[in-house]
Chains A and B, each alone.
Chain A
Amino acid sequence: MAFLDLVNLTKTYGTFTAVDSLSFSVERGSFVSLLGPSGCGKTTTLQMIAGFEEVSSGRILLNGRDLAAVPARQRGLGIVFQTYALFMHMTVAENVAFGLEMRKVDRAERKRRVAEALDLVHLSHLADRYPRAMSGGQRQRVALARALVIQPELLLLDEPLSNLDAKLREEMQLELRRIQREAGVTTLLVTHDQSEAMALSDQVIVMERGRLQQAAAPFDAYEAPQTSFVSGFLGKSNSLRGRLSGKGPEGSALDLGGLRLQGPAADLPPGEVELALRPERIELVAEGEGLVSGTVSEQVFLGDQWLLKVETPLGPLLILRRNTGRPEAAPGETVHLSWQRDHLRILPVEGAA
């Protein structure tokens, strides 16, 4: 049994199902992200684990203990809220000490642990400041210190980085990972930012419309998405419709609007399928060597990469090319595209499952 187990967790509001029999497990000490677009039920799930939302059905087991009968204030979880939810009328040290005070930790011990927690987030020099006189990144650290000082069994992070600007967010991602490792605390992060989830987690749990889409290590979820939603949500992806016409041990035969292609072996019955192809896996090749040809319709400079949009008989395809000094193709040019057979992902048609 894992450290945190969600078993068929369901939350309904009237006729609306926010979380639909969600099950997943989190190993002790790991960093897991609950990832999905807004409204997918990830925050509701976090609120249920925290004890702020009632569970409609299903169970939450923490360290083998069923949380159903445990009120929020006895769950002993550390929570960092999206708004940080700092106590504005208290200093940083008082904010951090609050949880220890509630646990009736004596003054000397309290002081020592507050200092320790502030040290962990590199804020010792600001202990006597009030939160209103601090930047977003500093408030974020205070919230983290406050959540960690009670040595929670589980740390819940609700979109903690979404209020920070892009550069600070990247810095805080590294910080967050360091702090989590040093504290050794099992962490569940709720986020809609796929790059954040992939950068931070040992495991990502992708949700959509209240349902689990895939639970896997970030690399596996990116490389082997099980649904077209996961493929489109984690990174960029070209989505194509086709028919799976035959399969063999070393590959499958695909038919894309008359174009015959080879794909990797697929565990699907013949028929309509969805094909996902990452833009960075498409190569530009010489005439005659391509699988498909098309005309460049748009070219976007991304700094380290060029994003090309190519109109092909299969539909528009996005292609990412490393910026090696000059663009490889200009709008209006005809290009020839190729990719390795195994880079094509064959997925069931959305909604058919």
Chain B
Amino acid sequence: MRRNGIFAKAFCALFALFMLAPILVVIGVSFTPTGYLEFPPSGLSLRWFRAILDNPDFIAAAWISLKLALIAATLATVLAVPAALAIGRGSFRGREALQALFMSPLMVPTVVLGIAFLRFLTLVGISGTFTGMMLCHVVIVTPFILRLVLASVVGLDAATERAAVAMGASDWTVFRRITLPTILPGIVGGWVLAFITSFDELTVTVFIASPSTTTLPVRMFSHIAQTTDPLVASVSTVAILFTVALMLTVDRLYGLDKLLIGEGKT
């Protein structure tokens, strides 16, 4: 194997630093004992982590975000799996159009989506409700799941399903025992990606959230708009730790590189 030269190594190191720097700064700031944003921190203090507990509205917002992300990611998965199976293997009229439709939330600028959702929810009469917000998130996260599930569906050898059929399996048994386990890594990967996307979605949500449905990113955004204390940094640090924990769990179970590269067939 070819070894990397000094320039390649330096480039990689700088690139990694560039990617990680904002996160490192936020984590550093969250441990500051001072009342303002300071980096590097002049001391180590858990003051701003305790402050989270004194702000029940942050905790309430975090619960809403968690609930929203869980439900939206799961609902979107239920929609995306059959869609991916149909698009990935079918050859019917409008197949491409259907795929484009499912993918379109990725193409439309999120600000435009936000305004559109706000208008639409008002028209339907569910603006400011959790249900309305949840439906919007389903639309936003579906493309992420579809992409990953589609990748594993394409890698699925149709002959394996035929083999099961030839051995006497019914359609449902084939799906449950063969198809589903084979594309499961794609489904889990898509779900995780969708969960994270929904959990930290701001641009669209800021348009449609109401005081009773304020998500964590929206809460943090409005907090920064008023004051600039390290509270948002400590909240961010907790959120980062939560995400890392989720990723590690998934990696243990399925192997992250396999999930995110979307390799369905092994």
Contacts and interface: CB of A to CB of B under 8 A. Distances in A.
Nearest to A99: B167
24 contacts: A51-B166, A52-B165, A72-B162, A72-B165, A73-B166, A73-B167, A73-B168, A73-B169, A79-B162, A79-B163, A79-B166, A82-B159, A83-B157, A86-B163, A87-B163, A87-B164, A87-B178, A87-B182, A88-B265, A98-B169, A102-B169, A102-B173, A146-B163, A150-B168
Contacts of A132: 266
Place the interface of chain A in its size category.
Answer: 20 to 34
Interface in B207-266: 265-266
Interface string B176-208: 011001100000000000000000000000000
B178 to A, nearest CB: 6
A122 interface: no
Interface of B: 157, 159-160, 162-170, 173, 177-178, 181-182, 265-266
Interface of A: 50-52, 72-79, 81-83, 85-89, 98-99, 102-103, 132, 146, 150
A83 B173 CA distance: 21
A76 B168 contact: yes
Majority secondary structure, B binding face:
helix
Which among B165, B177, B181 has the greatest number of chain A C-beta atoms within 10 A? B165
B163 A81 contact: yes
Contacts of B265: 88
Contacts, number: 63
Contacts of B170: 73
B189 to A, nearest CB: 16
A44 to B, nearest CB: 14
A83 B170 CA distance: 22
Nearest first, the 5 closest Cβ-Cβ pairs linking A and B are A99-B167, A85-B159, A102-B168, A85-B163, A81-B159
B162 A88 contact: no
Nearest to A75: B166
Contacts of B182: 87-89
Contacts of B169: 73, 98, 102
Nearest to B181: A89
Nearest to B162: A52
B173 A88 contact: no
Nearest to B174: A73
Contact of A85 (B160, B168, B177, B266): B160
B168 A99 contact: yes
A85 B166 CA distance: 12
A64 to B, nearest CB: 21
A89 B181 CA distance: 7
